[in-house]
Every structure is written in structure tokens, then in C-alpha cells.
Structure 1
């Protein structure tokens, strides 16, 4: 369950049944450890509602659907980066591989032109944290959950609505 600051409680349905460690946990850990505020969890904290999310408690904002649409569309590239980096870290943990720094850098390069902004220690921290929480997840008693705190500083910025286009004809300059 995800408890947002606005009093809304969400539950994510995981489509990941083959893995020992849930893919959603890999997202949360990787995004938090790498400081990705505009990945899946930063957008959820800001009000995004993905198809895999169900509202359990609380009242949504009057503009929740539109706000969610703007957040997801406005941060789509960053969500894709979070997806590939989370997949790399998740794969390393699932297959008991060493820290996947080279794979993370290559995944970044498949979506971004800028240099990879993380050090090997950053990717190591994400991988180690996911290993530790993955082990805790596997050993949880039935019916209990794993607590994972999301820092407020990693909440995605709101995306303002697009300005409506003016219907006036352009002015002619003489």
C-alpha cells in the first residue's frame, strides 16, 4: 500500500509473478536510491494514477484524472528511464549478479544523450538495498507488508495545464 500526503491510500497490482522480488519494489528502491523524483513513485506521490493502481482510501482531487494525465505525459521520458534502470537493478538481484553499473550506464544511454549521472557507488547502493529488502520480502509472514518510506523531496513537480491556443489570426507586420 502507498500512503500519500494528501490522505489517499493506493494499492499497486503487481503483474510480476515470476520474480522472487516484486518489480514494483525494484522501482521504488532504484528510484529512491538514485534520487529519481520523476519516476513512477515520484509521480505517484504527486498524484499520478497508473492503470495498475487502485484507490483504497481517501478522496481524490476534483481534477485527479487530468492531473495524473499531465504528470505521466510530462514526465514520460523520466518514467522510461526509471523503468530501464529499475529493470537493470532488479535483474542483477534476481539473478544474483554483481552490481550492474555498466548495464545501468548502457540502459541510460539508450534513452538519454547526457552522460550517465551516477557513480558506481550509487548503483551499488540501489542494488544492495534491493537485495536486503528483497530478502526481507521473501521472509515476510503471510498477510504482512514491507514498510518503505518515500522522501517528500522526491515528489514530482506538478505539470501545469497547457495554455489554450489563441484563435486570433496572427498580426501582420508592415
Structure 2
């Protein structure tokens, strides 16, 4: 799946998503305006930490959200049922992804060990033990976020920013939460 981010005039972001099934979607960010697009933090964080059933894995598997609009292509005849199934099966992973994104956004200037420690603290709110993420994974995510921040800062509204690949062809109920 190919994802490109565009800067909106209000400072928010727009993601254009080309799924592998020929459908093109547009994901409009909510009013969270920060140094980096919230949905891009999801993509970078979920990819770096192996969260295959978070926001982006769910979209790849057919989940639709209120902020998503179909731009072109034809959706499956059972798209509503499929979306509900994916969202239901991935609900815990989607909640975990939101927690992880909050930590990564607050740790953009931290090193891998500090980010890992904060991920462990946040993980402990809903799960036992430390998070399954390594300091290297955490460090890789914040390094990529710093690169994104620098690129996003110089974009003018209406200009395309980074383009990413979501590498995992996830199906609901498969994948892993590491």
C-alpha cells in the first residue's frame, strides 16, 4: 500500500492511500496539528514497532473510518461488513496504536532508551510487564519522525510531503502484536 501525505492550509494533513486492490482513499486528519502529521506518526510508529493491526494494517485489510473517503476505484460489495469485522477484530491493536503514537509524539527528541522506557510505562497502563518493543525499534521510530518533522516544516500548504509504503498485507485476525 502506498501512502502520500499532503499539507493542508489549516496545518493539518491529508493522506492519499493507494491500496493493493485498486482503491484510492483519502484520509483527512482530525484537528490534531503538530510538528508531524498524527496519521504519519501512526504509520511510522506502527511500521517500526511491528504493529500490523493498528490503523494502517486495518486500512490495508479493508477497514473504513469516518475520516476516510473513497477517491477512486470500486469497493467490495460487502465493504461495510468487512470494515466492521476488521475494526472489531483489531480493536485492541487500534487502542494500543493510539497509546504508542502518543508516546512517540512526546518522544520525538528522545533517544531509543528513553522512548523504550516511556513505551514501557504506557504499556503498563493496560497490560502487564514491559512493552515488547526494543530500544532499537523505538530509536528507529523517533529517528524517522525527526526526519519527517524537518521535511514537514518546510512544506507549504497544498504541497505533497513524504510518501511511504505500508509493507504488510494484513488480514483481520492475522498478524501479531509484539
Larger C-alpha radius of gyration, 1 or 2?
Answer: 1
Report the Cα distance in structure 1 between the residues aligned to 2:120 and 2:169, rounded to whole angstroms: 24
Report the Cα distance in structure 2 between the residues aligned to 1:127 and 1:21, rounded to whole angstroms: 11
Q: Number of residues paired by the alignment?
A: 156
Q: Which runs of 5+ in 1 are unaligned?
A: 161-174
Q: Which of 118, 133, 148 in structure 1 is aligned with 2:164?
A: 148
More strand by share: 2
Question: What aligned pairs does 1:1-174 form with structure 2 within 5 A after superposition?
Answer: 1-93=16-108, 96-99=109-112, 100-113=115-128, 115-145=130-160, 146-151=162-167, 154-159=168-173
Greater mean alpha carbon deviation, residues 25-34 or residues 139-148: 139-148
Report the Cα distance in structure 1 between the residues aligned to 2:138 and 2:84, rounded to whole angstroms: 30
Q: Shift of residue 102 of structure 1?
A: 1.3
The 1:38–1:17 alpha-carbon spacing in structure 2 relative to 1, beyond 3 Å, is closer
* 1:36-55, Cα deviation, whole Å (9 max, x unpaired): 11000001011100111111
Report the Cα distance in structure 2 between the residues aligned to 1:114 and 1:51, rounded to whole angstroms: 34
SS in 2 for 1:47: coil
Report the Cα distance in structure 2 between the residues aligned to 1:3 and 1:117, rounded to whole angstroms: 30
SS in 2 for 1:68: helix
Report the Cα distance in structure 2 between the residues aligned to 1:7 and 1:13, rounded to whole angstroms: 20
* 1:145-169, Cα deviation, whole Å (9 max, x unpaired): 2211110xx2332359xxxxxxxxx
TM-score, normalised to structure 1, is 0.82
Contact 1:38/1:155 (CA < 8 Å) preserved in 2?
no
* Runs of 4+, deviation exceeding 3 Å: 96-99
Report the Cα distance in structure 1 between the residues aligned to 2:136 and 2:74, rounded to whole angstroms: 40
Report the Cα distance in structure 2 between the residues aligned to 1:17 and 1:79, rounded to whole angstroms: 18
Report the Cα distance in structure 2 between the residues aligned to 1:79 and 1:142, rounded to whole angstroms: 29
Q: Which runs of 5+ in 2 are unaligned?
A: 1-15
